[in-house]
Amino acid sequence: MSDEKFTSLVEKTKRQAGEGKDAVPLTTADEPGDEPGKDPFSVLSADRMQKVMCEFRLKTGNAVALAYSYLVKAEFDPSSGIDLDFSAHKVRLTGKNLAPVFAGLVTQRVAVVTEMDDLYAEAELGPDATVVTGIEVSQPQ
């Protein structure tokens, strides 16, 4: 991915976040136990402090929150997804059109990433929508 294309994705994420305004959640699942909304992730406004933790909500109802301070590496490959190394945990996000999620994660603006069912995502969202269909959290050996 070229630097110019990545920069434009970061700028798009900032605009979606409502830079300079109050926090704009892109999902309705803001409280633990809430049903996931139609959006796969939420982004905070750029004028707010960065999130301390990023919460990963699974389809099963389980959730894991990991501190951004332990995020030492983030990799994005459009064909395989996003790989995050949180020192003691590895997180893999799979889905489609994940560039906005990656841009939000590297700027520490993502509060929640919600895993969606493949069939629900296909039926409810458009073909260009950002969809997280898989979240794998593991501890390295």
Q: Of the ranges 40-44, 63-67, 79-83, which one carries the lowest mean pLDDT score?
A: 40-44
Q: How far apart are CA 45 and CA 47, in angstroms?
A: 6
The better pLDDT of the pair 33, 55 is held by 55
Instruction: Answer for the pair 139, 89: CB distance below 8 angstroms, yes or no.
Output: yes
Provide the strand spans (E) within the chain: 41-43, 53-57, 63-67, 73-77, 81-85, 90-96, 110-114, 131-138
Report field, pTM of the whole predicted structure over 0.75: no
pLDDT for 28: 36
What angle (nearest 5°) sits at the alpha carbon of residue 27, between those of residues 123 and 6? 90
Instruction: Answer for the pair 11, 3: CB distance below 8 angstroms, yes or no.
Output: no
Place 124 in a pLDDT band, splitting at 50, 70 and 90: confident
